[in-house]
Structure 1
Amino acid sequence: MKLSFFNITNFKIDGGAMFGVVPKVLWSRVYPSDENNLIPLALKSLIIETGDRVILIDNGIGDKQDEKFMSHVHAFGGEGLIAGLAKRGYKAEDITDVILTHLHYDHCGGGTYRDKNGQLQLTFPNAKYHVTEAQWEWAINPNPREADAFLPENLLPMRDKGALNLIKEEGELFPGVEIRIFNGHTRGQIIPIVSYKGRKLVFVADLFPFRAHIPLPWIMSYDVEPLKTLKEKEVFLQEALEGNYIFIYQHDYYADCSKVVETPKGIRASDPFTFEELMNELG
């Protein structure tokens, strides 16, 4: 198995929205904001090459949205989706599978694009796009709270072009790649767990967007069922502690990875380390 990790882009979002009921005086100590209360987020993806499969986890915002939409995203930096893949030796046609943790635009928007005639096409023409059935049904019949995050142009081409695989249950999706299903942030979110050289590497997506979200009450305002998130975090953190799991952060601008450790205040994140450092450590 070969793993690669890259940052598609950075973007900015309201800090208060990312930390919910946690007062700014607390969260700003660990994740500072600018004068407009905006904080930087990364948008990272993991590539898993195993056997004859090249699997991409999430694919960013994409580049088909109009100027007005992007003006609210405040995107900056990053490698880009296709350029980031190319830097690691992959073309879009090489991707056999795309695991979408969920269907909010910043996780799945790069999976489609508009061709020169303005028609929607799949970015990864040879790939199956994997998403839970619960999330798919949730996204194509959106509630008013999340409707702006579920964009038909990101979703419908996967179905209409026959590339969609709907997952009903947790378990091993591919050898060495297990999926868990969580429902607090949005219904049917996938958290992939990769078995690599005797360790469990968890792509924590929006269950733990930042290292700062490890404490149980630190939950985003975006979560549709925050009390469910609270319980999901509590149970999974205990499992991660006992299993010595390594967390890979998708959105943390300041950290790629950490472990979790027991402290007098409960389970917390260890000091951060880069993905490159992780690969060097695991050999």
Structure 2
Amino acid sequence: MTWKQNLGYCDCNPGLFKSIKGECIAAEENRLQWKGDFGDCTNNIRKRAIREVTPTDTGATEAPWFGRTVNSWRVTEKCGNDQPDFCLDWFAEFNVDSGVCECIEGYEDSIDGCTPWANGDDAAGQAIMDEILRRLRFIENDGSLNSINQKRLAAFERFFSIMEQKALQKARSGCGNRSRNMHGSILDENISMYQAFQTCLAKGDGNHNAIRELVYLYNQWQQAYIWNCQNSGYGKDPQDTTDATGTVCTSVNKKKSFKCRIQYHFDILYSRVFKERPLEW
């Protein structure tokens, strides 16, 4: 590990990723999730079950790419009067009052570790969706862009309503859980997305480029959270941002997968509304 001054915490060396065990490990060894909560502190020790997944390649040509076999065991963490040298979770600190390690302020406990996103498997996707719509409504209300009107805004609101029912539902479903479990670096992915989201929030409400970046960020969230779900359209490697093994979206298959539906609708937004350079998928 290396101390990163700009982050304010130690980070893993290149090629390794944060794990819920508090270690830096390779992606193929980092298919881990918490299984339930920590047990009570007994004799200054508490335990929590970890679920480890081994993907089984089914030879599929589209998602779901992998099945899985699951192995579980328990890890221990000091508690009570025996304060640990370090907490298992990267973003947890020992609370003297409670006698246990707890997520730091602004972070929430989840099966993927302490995360800055609010509780809920769909929290990141929901937040990004909401911010895109908020900015589109601001621009429409501001009147600074004649090409966006109530009719077009309503069309995007309907689209997001459908995506909320479908994509977000998949994210919190069994296939979404398995997608994150087999990701290999979902804790780092969540932190990266959160930092990018905060950067977008800091940009002016009428900033068109912030919406462009949020669109890319939403696509990143979808790939990370539902890549192994049926009809996702994403390839078999969720860490590959080029999505080399994913569906190539065309006018013929524009509505046949979650990936292509997102690309199709946001391409319309940029070609017909912003009239700016095309999105680069």
For Structure 1 versus Structure 2, the TM-score category normalised by the shorter chain is: under 0.3
- Whichever of the two has the greater Rg, that structure is 2
Structure in which a larger fraction of residues adopt helix: 2
Greater strand share, structure number: 1
Task: Tell me the TM-score normalised to structure 2 length.
Answer: 0.28
TM-score (norm 1): 0.28
